[in-house]
C-alpha cells in the first residue's frame, strides 16, 4: 500500500519536472520528429494509462529504458548499487562506533572541556549542509594536505556482479572522505542520543545500587549502563541506514561517487523519468523493509512488547 502511494506520488511529480524530449534531441530536430518520439515513449497516453503501465512493469522489476543513457534502468541500478551500499555501510559503521563512544564519553564527563568541544563540533555537524562539509573536507585533505583523493572510487575489483573498492589501496583511500562526510549527521544524532540515555540511566536506582556494591566505574558505565542505553540506538540505527541511502545523493554528487544517488541527480537534471521513478520506488522499498525488520527486532529486544503481545493473544 505504502509502495503504491509512493509510486503514485512520484509518478505524478514527473508531470511537473518538464519535458524530457528537449533534452533528448538536438535544437535542430523538427517538431514532427519530436511528436513522433513523444508517441513512441508513450508520453501522449493519458496519465492513468501511463501509471498502470508503470505499476505493472515495476511489479515485474522492469523500469524501462533510461531516456538519457539508453540502457535498462534495472541494469543501471544494479551496476550502481554496490558503490552506494559500500559507502552507506562504512558510514553507518563510522556513525555507530564513534557516535556511541563519544556519546558515552560526553555522557559520563558532562562538564569536561573535551565534552564541550565534542558537543560543539557535533552541533556543526547537524547544522552545516552536507555539501559544505564535503567541499571543506576536499579542500583540507585533497587540496591543502594532498593526502586523500578528492573524487571517484579509486580502483575497483569485480567479484561477479559486485564491484568493490575494499580490496585496493586507492579504493580504501577514496572511501574515507565521502563516508565520513555522510556519517557526520547520523553520528551527531547518535552522540546526543547515547549521551542523553547515559545521563538518564546513571541517575537510576540500579546504578546507584551497583555503585553501593562497589562495582568498578568502568564496569558500571560500559556493562550496566551502556547495555540499556543501546536499545533505542539500535532501533534508530536501522532506520538510519535507510536515511543514509537516501541522503547519499548529495555526498555522491560532491565526491563524484558512482552510486545510485549520483545517478538520480543526473536523472533529475535530464528529466529521465524511468530512472527517477525506479529510484524513488527503490528507496521506498528499502524504507518499508527496514521498518518491517526493525519492528520484528523490537519484538525480540524489548521484553515488554513480547509480554504485551502474549497477554493480548492469551
Partner 1 sequence: MKPKTLIKLVLLIFLSFVSTQSFAKTIKWSMQGDSLTLDPHAQNEGPTTMVSRQIYEALVTRGLDMSIGPQLAKKWATVDPNTWYFYLRDDVKFSNGQKMTAEDVVFSILRAKKPTSDFKEYISTVSSAKAIDDYTVQIKTSKPNPILLNQLSNIFIMSKKWSQENSVINPQNWDDGQETFSATNAMGTGPFKISLREPNTKTIFKRNYKWWGSMKDNKVTEIRLLPIKNAATRVAALLSGELDLVTDAPVQDLARIKSSTGHKVESTAQMRTIFLGMDQSADKLRTGNTGDNPFKKKEVRQALYQAIDIEAIKKKVMRGLSEPAGIITFPGVNGYTKELDKRLPYDVNAAKKLLADAGYPNGFNVELRCPNDRYVNDEAICTAVVGMLGKIGVNVNLFAQTKSKHFKELKDNQGDFYMLGWGVPTLDSHYVFHYLYESGASWNKVNFSNSEVDAAIRVMEGEVDLEKRNASIAKAWKIVKDDISYLPLHHQVISWASKSGLDVPIRPNNEPLFRFASFD
Q: Which residues bind partner 1 (CB under 8 A)?
A: 17-23, 26-31, 34, 37, 40, 65-66, 68-72, 135, 138-139, 142-143, 146, 149-153, 253-256, 258, 262, 265-266, 269-271
C-beta of 281: minimal distance to partner 1 in Å? 20
C-beta of 76: minimal distance to partner 1 in Å? 10
DSSP string, 62-83: ---B-TTT-SBHHHHHHHHHHH
Q: Which residues pair with 163 in a beta bridge?
A: 158
C-beta of 140: minimal distance to partner 1 in Å? 10
Backbone phi and psi for residue 214, each to the nearest 5 degrees, phi listed first: 85, 20
- Comparing CA positions, the residue from 31, 32, 53, 33 lying closest to residue 42 is 53
| Nearer of residues 3 and 142 to partner 1, judged by Cβ | 142
Cβ 134 vs Cβ 251: under 8 Å: yes
Residue found under cell 549521551: 195
| Nearer of residues 142 and 196 to partner 1, judged by Cβ | 142
164 three-class SS: strand
* Residue spans of alpha helices (H) in 142-272: 169-201, 205-212, 217-218, 226-254, 260-270
C-beta of 282: minimal distance to partner 1 in Å? 19
C-beta of 253: minimal distance to partner 1 in Å? 5
Q: In degrees to the nearest 10, what's the CA dihedral of 20, 25, 27, 29?
A: -120
Residue found under cell 544524532: 189
| Nearer of residues 103 and 274 to partner 1, judged by Cβ | 274
C-beta of 124: minimal distance to partner 1 in Å? 19
C-beta of 297: minimal distance to partner 1 in Å? 37
Residue 24 in grid coordinates: 533528448
Residue found under cell 575497483: 156
Cβ 260 vs Cβ 88: under 8 Å: no
| Nearer of residues 137 and 189 to partner 1, judged by Cβ | 137
Cβ 179 vs Cβ 130: under 8 Å: no
| Nearer of residues 153 and 221 to partner 1, judged by Cβ | 153
Cβ 282 vs Cβ 3: under 8 Å: no
Backbone phi and psi for residue 54, each to the nearest 5 degrees, phi listed first: -60, -45
| Nearer of residues 69 and 301 to partner 1, judged by Cβ | 69
Cβ 290 vs Cβ 5: under 8 Å: no
| Nearer of residues 103 and 149 to partner 1, judged by Cβ | 149
| Nearer of residues 152 and 232 to partner 1, judged by Cβ | 152
C-beta of 183: minimal distance to partner 1 in Å? 19
Amino acid at each position: 500500500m505504502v509502495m503504491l502511494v509512493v509510486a503514485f506520488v512520484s509518478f505524478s511529480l514527473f508531470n511537473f519536472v518538464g519535458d524530457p524530449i528537449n533534452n533528448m534531441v538536438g535544437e535542430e530536430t523538427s517538431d514532427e520528429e519530436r511528436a513522433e518520439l513523444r508517441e513512441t515513449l508513450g508520453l501522449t497516453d493519458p496519465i492513468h494509462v501511463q501509471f498502470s503501465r508503470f505499476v505493472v512493469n515495476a511489479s515485474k522489476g522492469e523500469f524501462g529504458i533510461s531516456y538519457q543513457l539508453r540502457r535498462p534502468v534495472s541494469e543501471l541500478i544494479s551496476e550502481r548499487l554496490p558503490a552506494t551500499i559500500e559507502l552507506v555501510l562504512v558510514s553507518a559503521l563510522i556513525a555507530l562506533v564513534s557516535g556511541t563512544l563519544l556519546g558515552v564519553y560526553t555522557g559520563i564527563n558532562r562538564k569536561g572541556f573535551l565534552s564541550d568541544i565534542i558537543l560543539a563540533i557535533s552541533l556543526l555537524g547537524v547544522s552545516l549542509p552536507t555539501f559544505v562539509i564535503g567541499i571543506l573536507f576536499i579542500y583540507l585533505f585533497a587540496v591543502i594536505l594532498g593526502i586523500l583523493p578528492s573524487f571517484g572510487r579509486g580502483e575497483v575489483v569485480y567479484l561477479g556482479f559486485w564491484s568493490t573498492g575494499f580490496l585496493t589501496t586507492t579504493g580504501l583511500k577514496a572511501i574515507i572522505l565521502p563516508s565520513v562526510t555522510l556519517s557526520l549527521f547520523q553520528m551527531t544524532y547518535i552522540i546526543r542520543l547515547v549521551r542523553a540515555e547515559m545521563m538518564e540511566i546513571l541517575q537510576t536506582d540500579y546504578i546507584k545500587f551497583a555503585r553501593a556494591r562497589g562495582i568498578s566505574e568502568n564496569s558500571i558505565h560500559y556493562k550496566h549502563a551502556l547495555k540499556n542505553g543501546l536499545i533505542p540506538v539500535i532501533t534508530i540505527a536501522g532506520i538510519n541506514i535507510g536515511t543514509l541511502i537516501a541522503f547519499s545523493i548529495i555526498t555522491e554528487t560532491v565526491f563524484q561517487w558512482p552510486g545510485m544517488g549520483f545517478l538520480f541527480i543526473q536523472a533529475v537534471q535530464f528529466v529521465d523519468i524511468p530512472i527517477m521513478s525506479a529510484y524513488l520506488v527503490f528507496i521506498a522499498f528499502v524504507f518499508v523493509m527496514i521498518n518491517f525488520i526493525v519492528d520484528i527486532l523490537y519484538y525480540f529486544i524489548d521484553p515488554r512488547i513480547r509480554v504485551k503481545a502474549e497477554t493480548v493473544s492469551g
